[in-house]
Chain A
Amino acid sequence: MPLPEYSEANFVEGRRRKSSSSSFRPIVFFLVPLFSVLLDIFLPRFIESARTLEFPLLITIYFSLMKRQPIAGIAIGATIGLMQDSLSQQPLGMFGIVKTLVGYFAASVSLRFDLNNPALRFMLCNFFFVFHQFFYWVMVRALLGQATNINGMDELVRSLLNSAVALPLFLALDKLREDES
């Protein structure tokens, strides 16, 4: 199998593609996370099974992956997490810390992958969902001292389901991207 011809132009293009970050309008950055948190509290009123879906987490992953900037991922994760905390009965910071970590790591790994690949998106969503659930469980036990159980099989199913929902959701959000810089 012949190797692709090396040239400086190809190398620069590859580096540029890998390091490029998507840009969105500010209103999108404001409304989409808000809407995701809203869906998180609104849908279960009518569809009980919608509690399985973690829209704020999916939005955190998407924006962090697309921005490819860890600091932006931290900001997105912390904002959405704190907003989610604000509408929950738990102390502020629980979702904030976990989603901050998710945003940071998602933005960090995005530098190494082609994020337009649906399979990769599926796998990353799956991974970060499990990561989110695990750290949340650790924090609830460690910081709040609450003895909660976690069912590995249930969480795996939930992660697959959320990853499946993430694919069309991410495709829809791709339409809101302005350009690549």
Chain B
Amino acid sequence: MDGFLGRYRNLSVLVIVIMAQLVLLAVQVKNNQDVRLIRVWAVTAMTPLARVLEGIRANTFGVAGEYWQLLEVRSENRTMKVDLDRLKLENQYLKEELATAKRVEAMASFVQRNPSKTIGARIIGAGSGMNSKVVFIDRGSTSGVLKGMPVITPDGIVGKVTASYPVGAQVMLITDPTFACGVVSDKSRIHGTVRGQGNNQLLVDYIQNEQQVAVGEVFYTSGDDRIFPKGLPVGPVRVARQGKLFKEIYLAPTAFEKGLEEVLVVLEGVHQQIPDLLPGAGTGPEAKPLAPPPSESVPTPVDATPQQKPDQKLSTDADKLLEKYRSIGEQQGVRYGNPGRVPNFNAPPPVVKPPAPKTETPPAAPVVPPN
């Protein structure tokens, strides 16, 4: 036996160890009990090492992990800052786009409403010089823009084209000291000439001191200058006081209130009605809204004034006077303009039919004078 074990020592040991473990296994399976002692030894041997390992991990890998996390946070922060800057730019761009869209929408609405033939243009630059009151627009003669054409916005008149080039045009603003155009007030229908002052105010000239003009009253173009069609807003009265020869009336141009970016060049002007005074309008400097010209009014081309049809509404005071004298002459059997008997113009005028609903009538509502 000893010889066998000695000869097959390795195999014998293997068999013994395997058998021992099989017995151990069998006992556990049969009794359904664990050999707790071996497990206690194993866990006792393992626990200190595991604790050390966990400590090393927590103090090295944990710190390293936090360091990496910090680096990631830093990188993420940098990325987010870049994203934020990009989003800010995008936001600004979208705001600009939105504002442009609103302006274009307002302008399109105005163009639809306005009987004059217009073309949209964008302001691309200002004139050189500190006191320059001219701007350049991106529409020129190839687009039909010619010298002398009025430039407007839905808010009011801007100026007139002073030079036209193939792809651009120079526009003199209404604030230029050499600018002038005819205006009429919406409340008292007083005619005057508005002049630029080189600043942000316009002076309405040639109005007698006896005329009553209230602060807040809005002036519109009268069409007398044959440049601007009648009925375009110019601005409300900011200052109205007695002058040496004429009244000193200063307007705040409404076209510049929202800044100038897009404008309309009037290619073919058509006169419009002066809007009636809005309730609440003209109550002071805060009065902002301007009544849009009524769309149902019959437009009158600027250049077509002599060819007006008899049933067409007259627009200027001279036209009204002419019509009055013609009717007096017809009443007395005298044809106006023919040589011969002169009609008695002091005779009472014929009974005139009540005016159309949209004729120029004095305002019904009293205007509260400013403080």
Q: A: which residues have CB within 8 A of B?
A: 31, 34-35, 37-38, 41-42, 46, 70-71, 74, 78, 82-83, 85-87, 91-94, 96-97, 100-101, 104, 108, 143-144
Interface residues of B in 1-32 (CB under 8 A from A): 9-10, 13-14, 17-18, 21-22, 24-25, 28-29
- B14 and A70 within 8 A (CB): yes
Compute how far the CA of A86 lies from the CA of B42 in the bound complex, rounded to whole angstroms.
Answer: 6
Decide yes or no: A91 and B25 within 8 Å by CB, A70-B14, A86-B39 being known contacts: yes
Compute how far the CA of A78 lies from the CA of B42 in the bound complex, rounded to whole angstroms.
Answer: 13
Compute how far the CA of A96 lies from the CA of B57 in the bound complex, rounded to whole angstroms.
Answer: 30
- B25 and A42 within 8 A (CB): no
Given contacts A34-B45, A41-B50, A97-B22, 4 further A-B contacts (CB under 8 A): A34-B49, A70-B13, A78-B21, A101-B18
Q: Give min CB distance, A87 to chain B, whole Å.
A: 6
- B53 and A82 within 8 A (CB): no
- B49 and A144 within 8 A (CB): no
What residues on B are CB-neighbors of A97 within 8 Å?
Answer: 18, 21-22, 25
Identity of the chain A residue whose Cβ is nearest the Cβ of B29 in the assembled complex: A91
Compute how far the CA of A49 lies from the CA of B14 in the bound complex, rounded to whole angstroms.
Answer: 34
- B35 and A92 within 8 A (CB): yes
Chain B interface mostly helix, strand, loop or mixed?
helix
Q: B: which residues have CB within 8 A of A?
A: 9-10, 13-14, 17-18, 21-22, 24-25, 28-29, 34-35, 38-39, 41-43, 45-46, 49-50, 53-54, 57
Decide yes or no: A91 and B10 within 8 Å by CB, A37-B46, A38-B49 being known contacts: no
Identity of the chain A residue whose Cβ is nearest the Cβ of B42 in the assembled complex: A86
Compute how far the CA of A94 lies from the CA of B46 in the bound complex, rounded to whole angstroms.
Answer: 19
- B13 and A35 within 8 A (CB): no
Compute how far the CA of A96 lies from the CA of B19 in the bound complex, rounded to whole angstroms.
Answer: 11
- A70 and B10 within 8 A (CB): yes
* A to B CB contacts below 8 Å, 25 in the list: A34-B46, A35-B49, A38-B50, A42-B50, A42-B53, A42-B54, A70-B14, A71-B10, A74-B14, A83-B46, A85-B38, A86-B38, A86-B39, A86-B41, A86-B43, A91-B29, A91-B34, A92-B21, A92-B24, A92-B25, A92-B28, A92-B39, A93-B25, A104-B10, A143-B25
- B9 and A100 within 8 A (CB): no
What residues on A are CB-neighbors of B49 within 8 Å?
Answer: 31, 34-35, 38
Return the 9 tightest CB-CB contacts between A and B, nearest first.
A86-B42, A93-B25, A70-B10, A91-B28, A93-B21, A86-B39, A96-B21, A97-B21, A93-B24
Number of A-B contacts (CB under 8 A): 81
Most buried by A among B25, B35, B41: B25
What residues on B are CB-neighbors of A92 within 8 Å?
Answer: 21, 24-25, 28, 34-35, 38-39
Identity of the chain B residue whose Cβ is nearest the Cβ of A91 in the assembled complex: B28
What residues on B are CB-neighbors of A91 within 8 Å?
Answer: 25, 28-29, 34
- A144 and B29 within 8 A (CB): yes
Compute how far the CA of A170 lies from the CA of B39 in the bound complex, rounded to whole angstroms.
Answer: 28
What residues on A are CB-neighbors of B18 within 8 Å?
Answer: 97, 100-101
What residues on B are CB-neighbors of A94 within 8 Å?
Answer: 25
Compute how far the CA of A74 lies from the CA of B17 in the bound complex, rounded to whole angstroms.
Answer: 8
- A38 and B46 within 8 A (CB): yes
Identity of the chain A residue whose Cβ is nearest the Cβ of B9 in the assembled complex: A71
Contact of B21 among A41, A83, A100, A144 (CB under 8 A): A100
Contact of A108 among B10, B13, B24, B38 (CB under 8 A): B10
What residues on A are CB-neighbors of B29 within 8 Å?
Answer: 91, 143-144
Compute how far the CA of A143 lies from the CA of B21 in the bound complex, rounded to whole angstroms.
Answer: 12
Compute how far the CA of A71 lies from the CA of B10 in the bound complex, rounded to whole angstroms.
Answer: 6
What residues on A are CB-neighbors of B14 within 8 Å?
Answer: 70, 74, 100-101, 104
What residues on B are CB-neighbors of A104 within 8 Å?
Answer: 10, 14
What residues on A are CB-neighbors of B53 within 8 Å?
Answer: 38, 42
